[in-house]
Amino acid sequence: MGQDRGKYDFYIGLSLAVSSSIFIGGSFILKKKGLLRLAKKGSMRAGQGGHAYLKEWLWWAGLLSMGAGEAANFAAYAFAPATLVTPLGALSVLVSAVLSSYFLTERLNLHGKLGCLLSILGSTTMVIHAPQEEEIDSLKDMAKKLVDPGFMVFATIIIIVALIFIFVVGPRHGQTNILVYITICSVIGALSVSCVKGLGITIKEAISGKPVIRNPLAWVLLFSLIACVSTQINYLNKALDIFNTSLVTPIYYVFFTTSVLTCSAILFKEWEHMGSDDIIGTLSGFVTIIVGIFLLHAFKDVNVSLATLAVSIRKEERNGPTPNGHTSYELLHEDVTEEVEDREMGLPFDSVSRRNGTTATA
């Protein structure tokens, strides 16, 4: 019966995690649409410290969608370990990329599409090799974990890093470097997931009739979660307002997942129960995700698609390398786009640039 119950909980947690990714992926689009509408009206942007988005209904719709996703995510942590739930957040990258191509005119080039695919494959590998058992079943166990010296040191480092980025790095480089605000959201997210896991256990104990309301730890976890989530929302809004959604979503996923997995390894010590093959599989999946994010970020301004790539290959075969050693792959501007129209009519791929979220279709 215990084994059947474990499988039942596993599938509940899996379903909740998938639905969470769908809601959260959609919330990025709704929030971005709201922020863009405010920018057209001339309101002070969130990236500049403005809070006019609080009067925009689209932003609130995005917040409600994210709230639904976080609620599902919250419940998923109560049924499944963090090393299973967190990597499934990669699905929000796919949802966001698909919806942004329809509603935000933000399209991924060929490198971006491959990067998203690699991110999904890497996260799937991590899920397959992650430990399936839960490590904490009561608030008493959670209290013992929280006072562990290793976690205390980790939490202290996280708080110090977050404060440095908020008060020192953010004001200087937040407007130009996409990693600044995302780093703040991610490191704080590691602590918020720990709070969510503890509150999930609290709810399960409350349902079973235990007097958890009188337990001070339950209130500490609740107020800590509110503080962490508020900080995440604030700086995620700034990142979305300044940078391309197609970049913010996957980069945030990688940083957030890394922070959560590190926190899970230190707090719950789930990795101690993994075999060598599972450890290698998990690390391989993580590296695959990093490669995918590198493709998304490093080549975001390369104007290339399958159609332009085919044209450049034919030009290479016909003309050979240029005298300076460069190939025609680098010549992916208006002349290539015109040749695509003349010779490749009917192909469904456009020549698209992702700089500033604008398309460059001919």
Would 180 be classed as within a structural domain?
yes
Alpha helices in 130-273 (DSSP H): 139-146, 149-164, 170-173, 178-207, 216-242, 245-267
Indicate the number of domains in the chain.
Answer: 1
246 within domain boundaries:
yes
In a domain, 161, yes or no: yes
Does the pTM surpass 0.85? The reply is no
What is the pLDDT of the chain when averaged over all its residues? 76
Q: Where are the beta strands (DSSP E) in the chain?
A: none
Q: Is residue 252 part of a domain?
A: yes
User: Rounded to an integer, what distance in angstroms lies between the CA atom of residue 140 and that of residue 236?
Assistant: 33
Residue 312 is which amino acid? S
Closest CA to 268 of 125, 156, 133: 133
47-56 burial, b at 16+ Cβ within 10 Å, e below that, comes to beeeebbeeb
In contact, 194 and 154? CB cutoff 8 Å: no
Please check whether residue 312 lies inside any domain of the structure. no
Model confidence pLDDT, tens digit, residues 26-74 = 888 888 887 777 777 766 665 555 666 677 778 788 888 888 887 888 7
Percent of the chain with pLDDT over 70: 77
Residue 72 lies in a domain: no
Residue 163 lies in domain: 135-269
Per the model's pLDDT, the better-predicted residue between 177 and 91 turns out to be: 177
